[in-house]
Structure 1
Amino acid sequence: MPSATQPPRDLRLLPKAHLHLHFTGSMRHQTLLELAEREGLTLPDSLVEEWPPQLSAADEKGWFRFQRLYDVARSVLSTEDDVRRLVREAAEDDVADGGRWLEIQVDPSGYAARFGGITAFTDLVLDCARDAAERTGLGIAVVIAANRTRHPLDARTLARLARQYAGRGVVGFGLSNDERRGVTADFGPAFAIAERAGLLLAPHGGELLGPPSVRAVLDHLHADRLGHGVRSAEDPRLLDRIAAAGVALEVCPVSNVALGVYTDLSSVPLPQLLEVGATVALGADDPLLFGSRLAGQYATMRAAHGLTDAQLAELARMSFRASRAPSSDVARWLGEVDAWLASPAPEVSEDAVLDRR
């Protein structure tokens, strides 16, 4: 813990990579309100007066409510300028939080009908990412993700799409949505396509379900990184396997609590994950629905577990090492993390440190 005479360093100045951010979920709340008004859409009260919404995914009905809010938010994106604005603002927000690199996750099939098909939408997103990177200085790459609630053949189509753009802005392939739906092994052929293309394999697992779900994505999908994966802590042997294999865990503390995976932030088992040497990259998941962005994840874990600045710096280092950023950039950013840790702690209030904007 920082001493009484040594205030904690500003976490928004800590260089970091963001490896778990969903496309529509990255939208600013104010942007949602403005675009909905333009489109003449009446938003649910939980996205207006009660924001951020009270959520739970303890059962499929709860997940359905969560997914419905996500779909409502996605419906306000109707023009190319809307998509460009979303990506630019997500980049600006990450930069304000100390972000140097972002891997944003998107399922193009969810936007295809409005934007001319999955290929056209992917082209648009990649163009927006290039533009946002030039404007903000943030490195941006894309992870194309399939949907567990759809047929595995749809996942193969998206894996081929990801393969088509490998080396041209797309760095990975994922699998998202309700972890309790579908049979993990059925998505194996899609992940084999992505694996042969040299793409990062980053399926969700170990959030809504426990260790058996994690084993399934490791065994059948050959995961390099796990979206969430936090419930690996419930099985010491599994956690040892993950640490030994260097499989990174994209841990999103605020969303874990919001969805009822844990009762409070102090219950998120980050210390247990770190104790065995697991690679952990903190992520914001869906700031639009959970109300907390990247620096907020570091701040809440500092507050909940009393993490030192040295431990927080190591979390930032792990985020860079687990990324698909160019190695020369990673080396430079690791040096910036060292410089942050070596710098005198600024005189900042705790309120400023915990500010979620």
Structure 2
Amino acid sequence: MPRPVTTLPKAHLHLHFTGSMRVETVRELAEKHHLRLPDALTTGYPPRLSARDERGWFRFQRLYDAARACVRDEADLRRIVREAALDDASEGSRWLEIQVDPTSYAPFVGGITPALEIVLDEAAVVSREGTTQVAVIVAASRIRHPLDARTLARLAAQHAGSDPGTVVGFGLSNDERRGVTAEFAPAFGIARRAGLALVPHAGELLGPTAVESTLEAIRPDRIGHGVRSVEDPRVLEQVAESGVALEVCPRSNVALGVYASTAEVPLRAIVEHGIPVALGADDPLLFGSRLADQYQLAREALGFTDDELATLARGSVTASCAPADVRAAALADIDTWLATPPTD
């Protein structure tokens, strides 16, 4: 019998704030605020998604926006952080870096600073109470002006730290077909000077050229997705030489139509090229798949052994911004998981 992936210690480095919500939570918040949800989040759940073209991305974004519109007060923000931590804890996650753009929630709590501070405060609270330690990545959006990204980078810098309940990284998300990556470089410069990890998205909806331009313009510590770097051996080698870790989200890749099946996700090619990998769930609300499911998919669809799953878990921990003691404990417990014979 294989060892359960839910007890494999790991870190979770690619989880979006709105996308982390339980579908039951979205429905309850919609009822609380007297909002109507699309059928895809009620009777038609889980939604059928694709982002291979603009129409498919628009539908994905519309559902995402509908869920985000249900988050309208401090209690809602705190609930999302708490439930994300609880869900991660149930799946063996020791360290969670949840990604949030406070701009989305600012109108309801008095601005981007209060929005971020609420999230940070709850992250600190749940970290003291539970087994999963929670830190925050502030993410700018590619569909907004690069000057907005600088504003967010300065805000992130003011709350920079290395402990739970602090900002540990700065990202760039949304449709990577929009915006010019190099124009966001000044924002990442602000984050770099504050000691934050640089963790932009690239190489899921666009091919290896997007990964290459991100490496050149931003010099990231990690790249969200990056899977399509395998389409160009030269770019794949660049990724390997850079030491950048890739946050691979298999279910996301399939749900958005990047690959037809999990078996096509090039996780093994990436790992065999010596590139560090951290598996992530991305947006469980819309993809119907949480963190442990990504490890199960690697096992069932890609043939990863328990030794290889342990290597992936180690990669997630070492690529994280977790404090040294959290890393050391998680790595030791990964060894214990692997050394313990599986039971019936």
- The match for 1:23 among 14, 17, 20 is 17
1:183 and 2:180 equivalent?
yes
Give the whole-Å Cα distance in 1 for the aligned partners of 2:153 and 2:192: 9
Alpha-carbon displacement from aligned partner over 1:184-203 (angstroms, at most 9, x marks no partner): 11111111111111110000
Q: State the match for 2:57 in structure 1.
A: 63
Asked if the contact 1:21–1:286 (Cα under 8 Å) also holds between the matched residues in 2, the reply is yes
- The match for 2:304 among 302, 307, 310 is 307
Q: State the match for 1:259 in structure 2.
A: 256
Asked if the contact 1:248–1:280 (Cα under 8 Å) also holds between the matched residues in 2, the reply is yes
Unaligned runs of 5+ in 1: 1-6, 348-357
Q: State the match for 2:233 in structure 1.
A: 236
Q: State the match for 1:145 in structure 2.
A: 139
Alpha-carbon displacement from aligned partner over 1:165-192 (angstroms, at most 9, x marks no partner): 1116000000000000001111111111
Alpha-carbon displacement from aligned partner over 1:68-121 (angstroms, at most 9, x marks no partner): 111110111122111111111110100000000000000111111111101111
Q: State the match for 1:276 in structure 2.
A: 273
| CA apart distance, 1:265 | 0.4
| CA apart distance, 1:346 | 2.3
Matched to 1:342, the amino acid is A
Q: Secondary structure at the match of 1:68?
A: helix
Q: Secondary structure at the match of 1:285?
A: coil
Q: State the match for 1:219 in structure 2.
A: 216
Q: Secondary structure at the match of 2:2?
A: coil
| CA apart distance, 1:283 | 0.2
Matched to 1:217, the amino acid is T
| CA apart distance, 1:57 | 0.5
Give the whole-Å Cα distance in 1 for the aligned partners of 2:287 and 2:141: 21
- The match for 2:322 among 321, 325, 340 is 325
Matched to 2:279, the amino acid is L
Asked if the contact 1:10–1:346 (Cα under 8 Å) also holds between the matched residues in 2, the reply is no
Unaligned runs of 5+ in 2: none
Give the whole-Å Cα distance in 1 for the aligned partners of 2:8 and 2:292: 9
| CA apart distance, 1:302 | 0.6
Matched to 1:201, the amino acid is L
Matched to 1:242, the amino acid is V
1:87 and 2:81 equivalent?
yes
Give the whole-Å Cα distance in 2 for the aligned partners of 1:170 and 1:141: 6
| CA apart distance, 1:244 | 2.1
Q: Secondary structure at the match of 2:135?
A: strand
Q: Secondary structure at the match of 2:282?
A: coil
1:202 and 2:199 equivalent?
yes
Identical residues among aligned pairs (%): 62
Matched to 1:326, the amino acid is P
Q: State the match for 2:335 in structure 1.
A: 338
| CA apart distance, 1:123 | 0.6
Q: State the match for 2:157 in structure 1.
A: 163
Q: CA RMSD in A?
A: 0.9
Give the whole-Å Cα distance in 2 for the aligned partners of 1:217 and 1:245: 12
Give the whole-Å Cα distance in 2 for the aligned partners of 1:346 and 1:121: 46
- The match for 2:90 among 77, 87, 96 is 96
Moved over 6 A (4+): none
Aligned length: 341
| CA apart distance, 1:319 | 0.1
Q: Secondary structure at the match of 2:321?
A: coil
Q: State the match for 1:355 in structure 2.
A: none
Q: State the match for 1:288 in structure 2.
A: 285
- The match for 1:51 among 45, 49, 72 is 45
Give the whole-Å Cα distance in 2 for the aligned partners of 1:281 and 1:199: 18
Asked if the contact 2:72–2:105 (Cα under 8 Å) also holds between the matched residues in 1, the reply is no
Asked if the contact 2:30–2:37 (Cα under 8 Å) also holds between the matched residues in 1, the reply is yes
Asked if the contact 2:169–2:197 (Cα under 8 Å) also holds between the matched residues in 1, the reply is yes
Q: Secondary structure at the match of 2:258?
A: coil
Q: Secondary structure at the match of 1:204?
A: strand
Q: State the match for 2:70 in structure 1.
A: 76
Of 28-37 and 287-296, more deviation after overlay is shown by 28-37
